[in-house]
Amino acid sequence: MPKVGGRVGIGDVAAAAGVSTTTVSHVLSGNRPVRASTRAQVEAAIRKLGYRPDPSARSLRIQRTENVALVVPDITNPFFPQLAAGMQDILHPEGYLISVSDAALPVRSLDAVVQHLLDRRMDGIVMAPHFATPMHHTRIAESGAKLVRLSGSIDDGLGDIVRSDDTAGVAGVVRHLVERGYRRIAFINGEVTAEPGRLRIAGYRRGLSEAGLDYDEDLVKTETFTRDGGMNGAQSLLRRGARQPDAIVCANDLIAVGAMDALRRRGLSIPGDIALTGYDDIEAAALLSPSLTTVHNPAREIGRSCARLLLDRLADGYDGPPRDVVLPNRLIPRESS
Amino acid sequence: MPKVGGRVGIGDVAAAAGVSTTTVSHVLSGNRPVRASTRAQVEAAIRKLGYRPDPSARSLRIQRTENVALVVPDITNPFFPQLAAGMQDILHPEGYLISVSDAALPVRSLDAVVQHLLDRRMDGIVMAPHFATPMHHTRIAESGAKLVRLSGSIDDGLGDIVRSDDTAGVAGVVRHLVERGYRRIAFINGEVTAEPGRLRIAGYRRGLSEAGLDYDEDLVKTETFTRDGGMNGAQSLLRRGARQPDAIVCANDLIAVGAMDALRRRGLSIPGDIALTGYDDIEAAALLSPSLTTVHNPAREIGRSCARLLLDRLADGYDGPPRDVVLPNRLIPRESS
DNA sequence: CTGAAAGCGCTTACAG
DNA sequence: CTGAAAGCGCTTACAG
């Protein structure tokens, strides 16, 4: 029963329980011992009045907002919502609020997003955009907000990093294909200027070498991370005169979709004539026919890790050097291999 | 140059500009006239000190947080991230912070999410889960937070509603097929217990009637909103002895994927033998081959509308009756029709 | 056109 | 084991 004409404050609880606001506060926080009988009275008063502490007052006093932000490059990419969900798994139970900002639009530049979040006094920020610059990281670190990123290097000392192991992921795909009997395994890459391009081809090489297979540069095509890239790469691999591969590892699912178009156009069956694999596990991967063998990025688990790293610094007093967390990913075998 | 040992406050600005904090506050808010020369001095001091107002102090004083929440049933469904992006388009420039909560998990029930958001004193909440109950809406309304929903009826007086016109969307699909010369147009529905099931079959009927075509119940199958549902529905339409349709309208894209599997298995070409359409425009729709004609839900536009309705009540003093906003959607013609 | 001062609802150092 | 009181940084009614 809130009193008429206003919200129930800690003072109302104190009055109802016949104690000071100090004691009510300590019952809530557990920051100092309270006699059991007193505590019981206070708790009864809290329940009876339906008291809920005001977060603005608390924030003002403790100089922390208990708000955390996630900045993403493109909310349309399903990876990022999953990341957000993972953060929630950990942070909601701790009472933190998570705000998600899409920094995709030019009108809403990363500069403006970061400024907005710092103005709002975020306690922690997870920066996912690959186009974030050291300037952004520095601004965040100097504001006192804790920082976690999804790529780059911890050498700048500006915060923790969480990522999944793309190289191991692709190596796992190669191992899977070798186990199934494939031997002439080709690779269609996207841009090698992008970090995933470099990491994934490294995985391809590692996979071959672990299987004792030679690296053959005729079997590797560097295109773009698009459907067209996959189409071009596959056509180039299948050109007349070339010794054909029996499997094609693609650096992402979109490339695999394009390669699938090209194979189908040539009347080749998948995986009968040629096996095909992707990377990312986009929604379409399961819906294509044949469904696409791929690697699932542990987006949710990455989100959880980000949240835990943040929480270490925010709530658990960790103040050590930046940490670099590398998570395993998961092969999803489907019909295409 | 923040002074050492603490953040720059409004008092520091006032001292630097040689005015009172009252005046600094009014320069920032524009709530009362300030002499141009005074304003200039204050603005210079703000710039020089890099002053940014503290949102907790402001919230405590004005008794609003300028925080808005979006609650979704499943962040994995790409519709909802788009909705969030649309809200951001409108609310970020106004200085609002948006928090997104996934209420999917049983461990994180809708009850708990709503409670968490009310504890955090959200000024406004957009409730997207179809499984939200009147109890949730009532709790929100009673807390004083403004409410916007994506379905239901405004008759309960508990807040505004924004939705897209599923019925018109499916009617548009039928019109499109008729324009392309198709006449025996079948419909595979999902569960009619779900609101989309009811609205979409209504669109099918409206489309037929607008085209002067008769409704033939042999051409309508009620299944589930899944790939299996589509497979079953298509098999049932194509069973021997039945007069075959020349087009199949599916109540969502997943159903269309299943129907595509069934048609392919029968050796039927799409759209040569039978045209096929979906609804929702999931990512896979563009990646299938043939790519799928479908209807795009204007998720981002819905998000913008939700934000505007909230802003009307939060910032612009609107205090009238609940509003029901119905947005048009967009036919995406692709190869399958 | 401007200022002094109260007060929003908490937490915590200080005191007992 | 408990309380009185200061103070976090703003906004605004009141006064001039």
The CA-based angle B4-A147-A139, given to 5 degrees, is 45
Concatenating the DSSP letter of every residue in A9-37 gives -HHHHHHHHTS-HHHHHHHHH--S---HH
Determine the pLDDT at residue B337. Answer: 96
Distance CA B237, CA B186 (A): 8
Question: What radius of gyration do chain A's Cα atoms show?
Answer: 26
Determine the pLDDT at residue A103. Answer: 87
What are the φ/ψ torsions at residue B30 (nearest 5 degrees)?
Answer: 70, 15
User: CATH: 3.30.1330.10, 3.40.50.720, 3.40.50.2300, 3.40.50.620. Which one for B166-296?
Assistant: 3.40.50.2300
How far in angstroms lies nucleotide C11's C1' from the CA of residue B5? 20
Topology of domain A66-164+300-327 in CATH is Rossmann fold (3.40.50)
How many residues would you count in chain A?
337
3-state helix, strand, coil in chain A (%, to 5): 45, 15, 40
> Which residue is the nearest neighbor of C12, CA to C1'?
A22
**Which residue among B52, B105, B261 sits closest to A289, beta carbon to beta carbon?**
B261
Please indicate whether the domains covering B66-163+300-325 and B166-296 agree at the CATH topology level: yes
Determine the pLDDT at residue A46. Answer: 95
How far in angstroms lies nucleotide D15's C1' from the CA of residue B22? 13
Closest residue in A to B57 (Cα–Cα)? A60
pLDDT digits (tens, 9 = 90+) for B43-66: 999 999 999 999 999 999 999 999
Compute the half-sphere exposure of residue A36: CA atoms within 13 Å on the CB side of its CA. 0
DSSP state of B154: G
- Per CB-CB distance under 8 Å, the chain B contacts of A113 are 92
What one-letter code names the amino acid at B26?
Answer: H
B300 sits in which H/E element: helix B299-314
Q: How far is CA B5 from CA A138, B2, B58, B237, in A?
A: 20, 9, 22, 76
pLDDT band of B4, cuts 50, 70, 90:
very low
Average of pLDDT values for B21-34? 93
Strand A185-189 vs strand A247-250: parallel, antiparallel, or unpaired? Answer: parallel
Positions in chain A short of pLDDT 70: 1-6, 105-108
Tokens encoding A98: 């998570």
Nearest nucleotide by C1' from B26 CA? D11
Lowest mean pLDDT of A21-30, A161-170, B71-80, B121-130, name the range: B71-80
Percent of chain B with pLDDT over 70: 97
Mean pLDDT of chain B: 93
Domain layout of chain A by residue ranges: 10-53, 66-164+300-327, 166-296
Distance CA B183, CA B213 (A): 8
Does residue B3 have a pLDDT over 50?
no
pLDDT digits (tens, 9 = 90+) for B183-211: 999 999 999 988 889 999 999 999 999 99
| Residue from A145, A152, A107 nearest A126 by CA | A145
Contact A255, A229 (CB under 8 A): yes
Distance CA A289, CA A34 (A): 65
Determine the pLDDT at residue B305. Answer: 98
**Per-residue exposure over A29-68, b if at least 16 CB sit within 10 Å of its own CB, e if not:** eeeeebeeebbebbbebbeebebebbbbebbbeeebbbbb
Dihedral sign from CA coordinates of B244, B246, B250, B256: positive
Laid out side by side, the sheet with B185-189 consists of B220-222, B185-189, B247-250, B275-277
Does residue B1 have a pLDDT over 90?
no
What one-letter code names the amino acid at A77?
Answer: N
| Residue from B111, A7, B119 nearest B127 by CA | B111
Tokens encoding A304: 């959880």
How far in angstroms lies nucleotide C8's C1' from the CA of residue A119? 21
Q: What class is the B66-163+300-325 domain? A: alpha beta
Determine the pLDDT at residue B2. Answer: 40
- Per CB-CB distance under 8 Å, the chain B contacts of A65 are 55-56
Dihedral sign from CA coordinates of B29, B31, B33, B34: negative
- Per CB-CB distance under 8 Å, the chain A contacts of B288 are 284, 287-288
Average of pLDDT values for B35-45? 94
- Per CB-CB distance under 8 Å, the chain B contacts of A75 are 81-82, 84-85
Distance CA B319, CA B312 (A): 8
With a CB cutoff of 8 Å and minimum separation 6, the contacts of B183 are B213, B246
Contact B118, A52 (CB under 8 A): yes
User: CATH: 2.60.40.420, 1.10.260.40, 3.90.550.10, 1.10.3720.10. Which one for A10-53?
Assistant: 1.10.260.40
pLDDT band of B6, cuts 50, 70, 90:
low
Distance CA B244, CA B210 (A): 22
How far in angstroms lies nucleotide D6's C1' from the CA of residue A61? 12
Nearest nucleotide by C1' from A58 CA? C10
Strand stretches in A137-213, DSSP E: 146-149, 160-164, 185-189
> Which residue is the nearest neighbor of C3, CA to C1'?
B20
Contact B108, A92 (CB under 8 A): yes
| Residue from B153, B152, B94, B104 nearest B124 by CA | B94
pLDDT band of B108, cuts 50, 70, 90:
low
Task: Evaluate if the CB of A51 falls below 7 Å from strand C.
Answer: yes
